[in-house]
Amino acid sequence: MSIISPKERLIRVLHKKKVDRPPVVCPGGMMNAAIVDVMNETGHTLPEAHHDEKLMAELSRDVHEYTGFENFGMPFCMTVEAEVLGSEIDFGTLACEPKIKKEAFASAASVDYKDIKKVLKSGRIETVVQACHRLSKSFPDVPVIGNLTGPISTAASIVDPMTFLKELRKDKANAHRTIDYVTDFLIEYAKLLIDNGASSISIGDPTATGEILGPKMFEEYAVRYLNKLIKGIRSLNAPVIVHICGDISSVKHLIAQIGSDAISTDALVNLRLLKEEFPSLTTMGNLSTYLLQFGTPDKISTHTRRLMKDGIDIIAPACGLSTSSSLENIQAMTNTVKEQ
């Protein structure tokens, strides 16, 4: 019997093919697994690794080796896109992820539409792309997941978010123009990642939730531009994962319209019921990150086994991991999957 590599297992699942067991992954980006325990153990640390391609690759490898997650995931934050599009970034500390310090524009009407080819040569884009290249060449059997901040969240990271959310209703022309431009940029960024070894792309769009947008705007903006982005990535022959944050009940009827190869959700979503309602969905998640931070290894193993029993296709944390989550707790999750 042949042994399936982690890369082949994940790709098979994303292509709806049978595998021996679910992959267990943590994509990076908004689900960054560079926890303090790993960084203290290895000496490869943030925020330095945000800016150094060799260090970024080493830290991503550390996460894979120490936690047991079956992938490399980069970058370690959701600010790469906003930075190159003009926003000011606070790069955080060892224990605190980067955040937007100041958005670049006061409104969608004032957005400066820069040449995308020039934008792609600025900021940390090259750092992420080269780290991706290093890992894909050195470890061809491990999937490299390239992470994008989704269209709505990126737009709300370059335009004052409170103003921008109002403009989704009051200035639709400029809101659409901004998100469309951001989506075009994200497609080109994804192309660089894929050309340099990313085997799949994960999109985290935490602003694009039913709770924030409501069903009508979720359909008008989130579904529309996620699908444009997905179509652009699919044209590059790479599968796509989309994470939807929060309570999806108000937009659940729209989830199946998102054309990704897998849907990842927050912990409060019952993925078993979601699979029953939409049998064609490939589901990913959704072990509580609160449990991973504050729970015991035994409870984590129990909840992980429940997800596997429910037929969840890819086992992963539900959302962003706390950097204070213990290595022991994360290993309880990954070891439980691998022991089945």
Contact 251, 211 (CB under 8 A): no
Chain segment 252-270, per-residue pLDDT in tens: 999 999 999 999 999 999 9
pLDDT for 1 equals 38
Distance CA 180, CA 174 (A): 10
Residue with tokens 């926890």: 35
Count CB neighbours of 101 within 10 A. 11
pLDDT for 96 equals 94
Ordered DSSP codes for 160-215: -HHHHHHHHHH-HHHHHHHHHHHHHHHHHHHHHHHHTT-SEEEEE-TT--HHHHHH
Chain segment 49-83, per-residue pLDDT in tens: 999 999 999 999 999 999 999 999 999 999 999 99
Chain segment 95-134, per-residue pLDDT in tens: 999 999 999 999 999 999 999 999 999 999 999 999 999 9
pLDDT for 2 equals 53
Which pTM value belongs to this model? Answer: 0.96
Q: 262 has which bridge partners?
A: 241
Residue with tokens 């820069």: 114
Chain segment 86-106, per-residue pLDDT in tens: 999 999 999 999 999 999 999
pLDDT for 285 equals 92
Please compute the mean of the pLDDT values over residues 288-302 and round it to a whole number.
97
pLDDT for 3 equals 86
170: pLDDT strictly greater than 70: yes
Task: Report the mean per-residue pLDDT for the chain.
Answer: 96
Share of the chain above pLDDT 70, in %: 99
pLDDT for 340 equals 72
In the chain, DSSP assigns E strands to 72-74, 88-90, 99-102, 144-149, 200-204, 240-244, 262-265, 283-287, 314-317
164: pLDDT strictly greater than 70: yes
10: pLDDT strictly greater than 50: yes
pLDDT for 126 equals 98
